[in-house]
Chain A
Amino acid sequence: MKEKNHKRRRSGPGRAMVSAVMLFFFLAFFLLFLQDFNWQSLALALIVPVIILFGSFGISRLFPADTLLLSLVNFLCALGVLVLYRLSPERGLTQALNYGVGVAAMIGCTLLIRYMPSFRFVNWAFMLGSVALLALPLLIGTERNGANSWITFGGRSFQPSEIVKIALLISMAHMLAKRKVILTMGFAAVCVLVLAVQNDFGTALLYFGTALVLGYAATGSVLLVGAGVGGAGAAVVLGNMIMPERFARAMSRVNVWLDPWQDVQGAGYQIVQGLIAMANGGLWGVGLGAGNATVIPEHYNDFIFAVIVNEFGMIFGLLVVLMYAFIMIRGIMIARNARTLFHALLATGCAAMIALQVFVIIGGNIKLIPLTGITLPFISYGGTSLVSSLCIIGIMQGVAARSEAGVNEDRELAMQGGGLK
């Protein structure tokens, strides 16, 4: 019976989708191979579809999983590898490696959530560890693009805030499920403050938004959201009084956002080039490998969305946004099917985290909101970011697997005559 169950799951829309995604990337890398006859392109044309296959079906072989969701996530990850490889083969190859590691981490997270009975005993460790990790760059950090939130370790640099995301989500969901609202919000506020002090406003905004969304989901209190926003406003005013110099620097970003064309060659350069790249792409894009979006600083990171619109066009860009929306909605569905408050909040947090991150960075790219440097989940270059994003998906899958297991247990109990509850 179990075997039959799996077979049913592997057919249907998920399966067709995975095949399409694999074909897309095989052809795309093959196209790049035809452009430069580099064996690496050919190797990726074979390897990337294999990772996609594993990332989509590997998990569903281990336990029931949502292949449609997985195929979307894999599509976005592979899209990142493709675009990065096209921009710089070296980065593309590194990203492919990160992708493989990320899929493994995703499975690890799924297993963790599926089988961990409770986070009660590790919660305090998570919280203290989070704050300590976040504060670490203040002591031994290196500065990148004005944000002092990186740690270099053994020749590799990474952002602790990406790892802390996972702990933050678990801790907040855990405490909110126990109705410790004040404690949760206090913890989130400390994290946000530490990030703001490091000038990492993008991540601070992301944490802040996620905390508010989770707080609202747990309490249903608009007052809480209002207090959060008010507190942030007060913090900004206070920050202005304590450190006017730094505040002025942040305000200059807002000015650049209002009119980047005032200083096309200077402060506004990045945004302007991003906008131009998207305009060059038009509806259908200039074609893979035909654009010149490398003129944008951080084209492989903050501005990768502009590169995608440049080469694949606006319609494709809209579809990418739609995929993120679908991933978010899938996460919310998992949350609503969850069987405990903790798991429901956990999945909600994951969905909100991904959605807000997408909003903050794409919104910055298209000049909807001021630009803050954070990564586009799954796509941007960067090991920590990719792995943590995949971990978040792993957590969602874990929650789903746990609910499914719960349903099955109930059914078995019922069949044995035990009945429900």
Chain B
Amino acid sequence: MKQVKNNIRRVCIFLCILFALLAAYGGYSITVNGNRWFSSGANTFVRSKKKDVIAGHILDRNGQVLAYNQQSQTAEGTKTTRLYHTDPLVRRAMVHVVGDSQGNVNNGVESFMASSLYGFQMSLVERFSCFFRGVQRTGDDVRLTLDSRLSAYASGLFPKGKAGALVVMNYKTGEMLAEISLPQYDPQNVTAQAKNDPQKPFYNRAVQGLYAPGSTFKIVTASSALENFTDAATRAWQCTGQLQVGDRFVTDAGTDMASGKIVSHGQLNLLRAFQVSCNNTFAQIALNLGDQKLKRTAENFGFNDNFLFRDVVVENSSYPRENRTEREIAWTGVGQSGLTATPLHMCMVASAVANDGVMMEPYTVMRTVSANGIMRTEAESRVYKTAMKPEAAQVLKGYMRTVVQSGTGTAAQIPGVQVCGKTGSAEVDTQENTNAWFVGFIDNDAHPYAISVVVEDAGGGGSVAAPIAKQVFQWMLNNGY
């Protein structure tokens, strides 16, 4: 009997643990994910409450009004319509961040920040005060870190008719200055054409577009080499122009049209390989590292992580997990073969190099302010991850500098400014041309900006994406950034 009573006590402890698990997991889960669930498109509650509250404004970092309400008198009474920035180019450029009143864009500020915009953050006192004064409640204003003029300017730089995305962020703080996706549409006049467009303008490519990062991933491969090979900087690699792995080849610079010969880079070191973006070398590095080591480095950079940033909802990037052949591993070192990443994530990868290996958490909401001017929340910078050691970041920064000075990314040069970068031309089976990539940053504490540009089906990163990055940086420097 005594023994049984002891057993019963253990049973009690076990059951108590179950209850503790319930409480802890429930509390944790709602606290961490609550806002995501709340702002999900499937939430009908927010929609039903919208008619009771006047939504707050959405402003850009300079106070430009991106979304506001207009009240008009109709036969049925006062009608409130949601309007967007007066300049159609600006409102088109900002549409993927801001969203529209119909919720066509996933996780636009209009839906993701609904709890602020529609006054769910108001205290009981404020609610009662509005109730007794008989005024309709007004939600909070949301001020973004983004610059709408920069966004409009950058949108104009893309080649006509091409889809793509561009992200600019401050690599020291993580605040985002531009997040644009093309094609765009007018939130104030959503046409049937926009709805049926095969290029899917509602889709926010900057955070939802999962692209093969192509050669921009060589930043990660090089980082892994620096981490794992003691002689990484000096080891000599042999490029034959065609690396045989199993019964297939990893191609490189291609074939010379005139002579019909395969072009090769010959013998080179890591710096040179990075500068000319030599596929052979990086495939060999990946094979020498092995899948596990390369994967670990990629995961240090945020691949395979579940991104839970406070106000930017980003698709998770992936490094393939299982059943990998040698050929696939070789291609992974070059940024192909099942690897996927969003333009925002690749911007973070460049930011990590710029910021001594520390990756900041990206954010787009600077502050929320109540209708009568009380500050509700103000964003502060947070570190997301430490991707690599500061020394490795310094070396990589040097590599990225030579890419722009005398490598594949010379089109991004700006006289008198240290621009560092990496180009990429990622192959996509279904497209005629490669996706043009450029990720880079200004190496200057006074102008700590990183950029990531993707232009779909457009050609080489050095010729298409790098010039866009250059013009964006140039514009920013001219406009006081």
- Give the residues from 1 to 45 in chain B that come closer than 8 angstroms, CB to CB, to chain A: 1, 3-12, 14-16, 18-19, 21-23, 25-27, 29-30, 33-38, 40-45
Residues in B whose Cβ lies below 8 Å from that of A275? 33, 37
The reply to whether A292 and B26 form a contact with Cβ atoms under 8 Å apart is no
Q: Does A264 contact B (CB under 8 A)?
A: yes
Interface residues as binary, A246-288 with B (CB distance below 8 Å gives 1, 0 otherwise):
0000000000000001001100010011011111101000100
Q: With the chains together, A314 CA to B34 CA distance in Å?
A: 11
CB distance from A174 to the nearest CB of B (A): 14
CB distance from B209 to the nearest CB of A (A): 19
The reply to whether B27 and A213 form a contact with Cβ atoms under 8 Å apart is no
The reply to whether B26 and A317 form a contact with Cβ atoms under 8 Å apart is yes
Q: Does A218 contact B (CB under 8 A)?
A: yes
The reply to whether B34 and A336 form a contact with Cβ atoms under 8 Å apart is no
The reply to whether A325 and B42 form a contact with Cβ atoms under 8 Å apart is no
Residues in A whose Cβ lies below 8 Å from that of B4? 217-218, 220, 341, 344-345
Residues in A whose Cβ lies below 8 Å from that of B21? 359, 363, 368
Q: Does A321 contact B (CB under 8 A)?
A: yes
Q: Does B48 contact A (CB under 8 A)?
A: yes
- Please tell me which stretch of A3-11, A30-38, A228-236, A347-355 contacts chain B, meaning at least 4 of its Cβ atoms lie within 8 angstroms of it: A347-355
Residue of B nearest to A366 (CB): B26
Given A278-B30, A336-B5, decide whether A318 and B23 contact each other with a Cβ distance below 8 A.
yes
The reply to whether B22 and A344 form a contact with Cβ atoms under 8 Å apart is no
- Please tell me which stretch of A12-20, A118-126, A151-159, A327-335 contacts chain B, meaning at least 4 of its Cβ atoms lie within 8 angstroms of it: A327-335
The reply to whether A280 and B43 form a contact with Cβ atoms under 8 Å apart is yes
CB distance from B212 to the nearest CB of A (A): 22
Specify which of A276, A341, A348, A352 is in contact with B1 (CB 8 Å cutoff): A341
Residues in A whose Cβ lies below 8 Å from that of B43? 276, 279-280
Q: Does A216 contact B (CB under 8 A)?
A: yes
- Give the residues from 88 to 112 in chain B that come closer than 8 angstroms, CB to CB, to chain A: none
Specify which of B11, B26, B42, B46 is in contact with A318 (CB 8 Å cutoff): B26
Residues in A whose Cβ lies below 8 Å from that of B9? 332, 336
Q: Which of A325, A345, A351 has the most CB of B within 10 A?
A: A325
The reply to whether A292 and B19 form a contact with Cβ atoms under 8 Å apart is no
Specify which of A276, A291, A318 is in contact with B27 (CB 8 Å cutoff): A318
CB distance from A3 to the nearest CB of B (A): 33
The reply to whether B12 and A332 form a contact with Cβ atoms under 8 Å apart is yes
Given A275-B37, A279-B37, decide whether A220 and B7 contact each other with a Cβ distance below 8 A.
yes
The reply to whether B19 and A355 form a contact with Cβ atoms under 8 Å apart is yes
Residue of A nearest to B120 (CB): A282
Q: With the chains together, A220 CA to B12 CA distance in Å?
A: 13
The reply to whether A292 and B11 form a contact with Cβ atoms under 8 Å apart is no
CB distance from A392 to the nearest CB of B (A): 14
Residue of A nearest to B5 (CB): A336
Q: Does A367 contact B (CB under 8 A)?
A: yes
The reply to whether A344 and B1 form a contact with Cβ atoms under 8 Å apart is yes
Residues in B whose Cβ lies below 8 Å from that of A273? 42
CB distance from A370 to the nearest CB of B (A): 14
The reply to whether B22 and A332 form a contact with Cβ atoms under 8 Å apart is no
Given A220-B3, A368-B22, decide whether A292 and B44 contact each other with a Cβ distance below 8 A.
yes
Specify which of A217, A278, A282, A292 is in contact with B8 (CB 8 Å cutoff): A217
The reply to whether B8 and A368 form a contact with Cβ atoms under 8 Å apart is no
Residues in A whose Cβ lies below 8 Å from that of B38? 276, 279-280
- Give the residues from 298 to 340 in chain A that come closer than 8 angstroms, CB to CB, to chain B: 314, 317-318, 321-322, 324-325, 328-329, 332, 335-336
Q: With the chains together, A269 CA to B44 CA distance in Å?
A: 12
Q: Does A47 contact B (CB under 8 A)?
A: no
Specify which of A264, A282, A355, A363 is in contact with B40 (CB 8 Å cutoff): A264
Residues in A whose Cβ lies below 8 Å from that of B44? 292, 295
The reply to whether A366 and B29 form a contact with Cβ atoms under 8 Å apart is yes
Q: Does A87 contact B (CB under 8 A)?
A: no
The reply to whether B11 and A213 form a contact with Cβ atoms under 8 Å apart is yes
Q: With the chains together, A351 CA to B38 CA distance in Å?
A: 36
The reply to whether A217 and B7 form a contact with Cβ atoms under 8 Å apart is yes
CB distance from A341 to the nearest CB of B (A): 6
- Give the residues from 99 to 132 in chain A that come closer than 8 angstroms, CB to CB, to chain B: none
Residues in B whose Cβ lies below 8 Å from that of A164? none
- Give the residues from 276 to 329 in chain B that come closer than 8 angstroms, CB to CB, to chain A: none
CB distance from B208 to the nearest CB of A (A): 14
Q: With the chains together, A265 CA to B45 CA distance in Å?
A: 16
Residues in A whose Cβ lies below 8 Å from that of B36? 279
The reply to whether B45 and A280 form a contact with Cβ atoms under 8 Å apart is yes
Q: Does A172 contact B (CB under 8 A)?
A: no
Residues in B whose Cβ lies below 8 Å from that of A355? 15, 18-19
Residue of B nearest to A217 (CB): B7
Specify which of B22, B42, B120 is in contact with A321 (CB 8 Å cutoff): B22
Given A276-B45, A292-B44, A318-B23, decide whether A335 and B15 contact each other with a Cβ distance below 8 A.
no
Q: Which of A217, A219, A317 has the most CB of B within 10 A?
A: A217
Residues in B whose Cβ lies below 8 Å from that of A322? 19, 23
Q: Does A77 contact B (CB under 8 A)?
A: no
CB distance from B62 to the nearest CB of A (A): 32
Q: Does A374 contact B (CB under 8 A)?
A: no
Q: Does A170 contact B (CB under 8 A)?
A: no
Q: Could you give 23 example pairs across A and B, Cβ below 8 Å? A: A213-B11, A213-B14, A217-B4, A219-B7, A276-B37, A276-B45, A279-B35, A279-B43, A286-B45, A292-B45, A292-B48, A314-B30, A318-B26, A328-B12, A328-B15, A328-B19, A336-B8, A351-B12, A352-B15, A358-B22, A359-B22, A363-B21, A366-B30
Which A-B residue pairs are the 8 nearest by beta carbons? A279-B37, A332-B12, A325-B19, A279-B34, A279-B38, A355-B15, A366-B26, A217-B7
Apart from A273-B42, A279-B30, A344-B5, list 10 A-B contacts with CB within 8 A: A218-B7, A264-B41, A279-B33, A295-B44, A328-B15, A332-B11, A332-B15, A335-B8, A359-B19, A366-B29
